[in-house]
Amino acid sequence: MRQAARAPSPVKRLASDTFIEIDHVSFGYDSTRVILGDVSLKFPRGKVTALLGGSGCGKTTLMRLIGGVHAADKGRVVFDGEVVDARDRGQLYRLRRRLGMLFQFGALFTDLSVFDNVAFPLREHTELPEPMIRDIVLMKLNAVGLRGAAGLRISEVSGGMARRIALARAIALDPELIMYDEPFAGLDLISMGVAAKLIRTLNDVTGATSLVVSHDVPECMAISDHVVLMATGGRIVAQGTPKELMDSTDPETRQFVRGEPDGPVKFHYPAPDIAADFGVAG
């Protein structure tokens, strides 16, 4: 008697080494200016990747596309094997549960205490009881050295402390992806060093994938596994290990990583001849 065919055993999908993939993505806020033009990048799982580049080259826009704030005009943004659809609210809510965001200026709720700022995502995305939320919040604040500041108001903390509070909030849900938008901006040297050490330590301890957008070359080179240098239009100038970029002989890469005033990157934004703007005859 012929035996019935057995259903195939489920095959466990192995995790890819790539956590976020930007696949031929183009985007512009209007039809007159392209922010990102046919950009392709891969961000390795469990690593710290720094996105460097001048203002307006599309670094923050790229993070907004990853978070589904905007939809790409062309191409795909892939989050752990799943294409991000900015129109699918259910998917976005689920994916955002897996990521934490440190905004450029902290974006803390000024009417809430330090404790309630960090507790906010836990209350919004989970149904945990308050005693458990309390323990998690205090652990996250302790991780950034601010457990003793839990009862303070945001108006009572310094700029460096506010950045660390925002970081505690970003990691409240133990995200798999942490995105940092200019985490070193406006910080003194000590606070900058503390922030850099926290980014590296949190990545190593939690196994998260970290994406750091910054202008600060020395700090990023010190903590990153992979570095991407972008230029206007989202053009990828160079990418590789920090050492590879620091040792690069490419003129544009050398100018940026060494902060040289003269080179391929010009100071002036493209504009008509100055004589034409001031009505001076040639």
Strand, coil or helix: 126: coil
How would you write 164-224 as a 3-class SS string? Answer: HHHHHHHCCCCCCEEEEECCCCCCCHHHHHHHHHHHHHHHHHHCCEEEEEECCHHHHHHHC
Pairing of strands 48-53, 209-214: parallel
Rounded distance between C-alpha atoms, residue 77 and residue 22, angstroms? 5
- Beta strand spans in the chain (E): 18-27, 36-44, 48-53, 74-79, 82-83, 99-102, 177-181, 209-214, 226-231, 235-240
Rounded distance between C-alpha atoms, residue 119 and residue 132, angstroms? 10
Tokens of 84: 């991000």
- Domain membership flag for residue 152: yes
- Domain membership flag for residue 165: yes
Tokens of 157: 């903390």
Q: What is the pLDDT of residue 5?
A: 42
Q: Domain span at residue 124?
A: 109-174
Q: What is the pLDDT of residue 269?
A: 57
The model carries a pTM of 0.78
Tell me how far the alpha carbon of residue 109 is from its chain's centroid: 20
- Whole-angstrom distance between the N-terminal and C-terminal Cα of the chain? 98
- Domain membership flag for residue 3: no
Domain count within the chain: 1
Q: Containing H/E element for 252? A: helix 251-258
CB 147 within 8 A of CB 175: no
- Domain membership flag for residue 163: yes
Tell me how far the alpha carbon of residue 12 is from its chain's centroid: 29
Q: What is the pLDDT of residue 174?
A: 86
Residues of the chain below pLDDT 50: 1-14, 267-268
Rounded distance between C-alpha atoms, residue 256 and residue 248, angstroms? 11
Q: What is the pLDDT of residue 105?
A: 66
- Domain membership flag for residue 162: yes
- Domain membership flag for residue 154: yes
- pLDDT tens digit string along 76-106? 999 998 899 888 888 888 888 888 888 776 6
- Domain membership flag for residue 118: yes
Q: What is the pLDDT of residue 264?
A: 53
Strand, coil or helix: 25: strand
Q: What is the pLDDT of residue 259?
A: 67
- Domain membership flag for residue 203: no
Quick one: 255 exposed, middle or buried, by C-beta within 10 A (0-12, 13-18, 19+)? Answer: middle
Pairing of strands 177-181, 99-102: parallel
